[in-house]
Amino acid sequence: MSQGQPRRPQAEEEEAIKYGDVFKVSGDLANKPITPQDAAALQAAETRALGRTQRGGPAAVMQSAATVNENRGVVGHHDVTSATKDQGVTVSDAEVAGHHIITESVGGEVVGQYVRTNTTASPAPAKTSGDLQVTIGEALEASALSAGEKPVEQSDAAAIQAAEIRATGRMQVTPGGIAAKAQAAASQNARTMSEEKKTKLGDVLTDASKLLPKDKPVTREDAEGVIGAEIRNQPELATYPGGVAASMAAAARLNQEK
């Protein structure tokens, strides 16, 4: 940390409120005291991304902790952790199944994730057990919105098939289901020269939750399976931004309990 006001000897280890005390973070950040400049940086990021600092949000929590730490003399007013200085803070807004998922990070570690239903709503916990559980079908529908104009490729068909299998619990593709439609679209698209005539993800995945014979909330294991299927069938070995794997990953993060 940068040098700030004088501190009481040996006070920091005993009295500082650290990131690990108030957030579910790991690694080096968990043992770092929350500083005034860290809190100010996240407040500024919230304001830029959301229009204002969120009441009861991560930045507000950090500001309270930083004020206590400064009053105790364990951090200075101008102190900033190395994680914030080197990696910065971020506030991102992703739409999943009609929900705006706000994710806030400090030094690459997530310190808050919540759902914003409108621009004036206060943050609501996004990881509470049993709430806002996004299903596989809803995650597929979200990719139809975020990447609906993308022509269906083999990587997409493989990811959709993996998602359908995990939703239904059946190892075989459902006849006439979304996986079968996706595979047929990918095969047809490979033989179609005109981009305008190719079948798009939105054509296949709109109303996916209604077309699945069974559905279930997305788990981390579900997302990992779909991500693996998409990557294995992609020459660049990467997932498509806003595509099937990305939407499943976002849904899994939302569903994960604190």
Say if residues 102 and 91 touch (Cβ distance below 8 Å): yes
Q: What is the pLDDT of residue 131?
A: 42
Rg (CA), the chain: 22
pLDDT tens string, the chain, 258 residues long: the values are 444 444 444 443 447 888 988 888 888 898 999 999 999 999 888 888 888 777 678 888 888 788 878 877 889 989 999 988 888 999 887 766 566 778 888 988 888 877 765 543 444 443 333 444 778 988 898 888 778 889 999 999 999 999 999 999 988 888 889 999 999 999 999 999 999 999 999 999 988 988 999 999 999 899 999 999 999 998 888 888 778 988 888 778 767 743
* Residue 56 burial (CB count, 10 A): 13
Q: How far is residue 169's CA from residue 155's CA, in Å, rounded to a whole number? A: 21
- On whether the CB atoms of residues 235 and 127 are closer than 8 A, the answer is no
At 29, give phi and psi (nearest 5°). Answer: -60, -35
Nearest to 225 by CA among 165, 174, 153: 165
N-to-C CA span, the chain: 29
pTM score, two decimals? Answer: 0.53
| Residue from 47, 48, 42, 32 nearest 83 by CA | 32
Tokens standing for residue 122: 């206060």
